[in-house]
Chains A and B, each alone.
Chain A
Amino acid sequence: MQTSSSKGLTDRSLVALAFLNFFLADARDGLGPFLDGFLATHGWSPMTLGIVATLGGVLGMVATPLFGAWVDASHRKRTLIIIPVVLVNAAALWTLASPGNASVFGGQSATAIVGAIVGPALMGLTLGLVGEKRFSHQVSRNEFWNHLGNVASLAGIYAATVVFGLNGIIGLMVLTAIAAVIATLAIDPKKIDHDVARGLANDDCAPGPSGFSVLVGSKGLILLAVALMIFHFGIAPISRLIAQDFSIQLGTPFRTTAITTGVSQLAMIGVALAAPYLIRRFGLASIFLIGLMALPIRGAIAGSFTQFAAIFPVQILDGIGAGLIGIATPVAVERIMAGTGRFNVGSRP
Chain B
Amino acid sequence: MTVQGIGASFSNVVAGWLTDFGGYGLAYWVHGGIAALALAVFVIGRNAIAPSRNKDMDVPADR
Contact = CB atoms under 8 A, between A and B. Distances in A.
A227 B60 contact: no
Interface residues of A, number: 75
A53 B9 contact: yes
B15 A61 contact: no
A288 interface: yes
A230 B3 CA distance: 10
Interface stretch (A154-162, A173-181, A262-270, A292-300): A292-300
A87 interface: no
B16 A289 contact: no
A293 to B, nearest CB: 6
A226 B56 CA distance: 24
A320 to B, nearest CB: 13
A58 B4 CA distance: 11
B59 A335 contact: yes
A306 B1 CA distance: 34
Contacts of A302: 24-25, 28, 32
Interface of B: 2-17, 19-20, 24-39, 41-46, 48-56, 58-63
Interface of A: 45-51, 53-54, 56-58, 60-61, 136-137, 140, 219-220, 223-238, 240-242, 244-245, 275-276, 279-280, 283-285, 288-289, 292-293, 295-300, 302-304, 306, 321, 327-328, 330-332, 334-336, 338-339, 346-347, 349
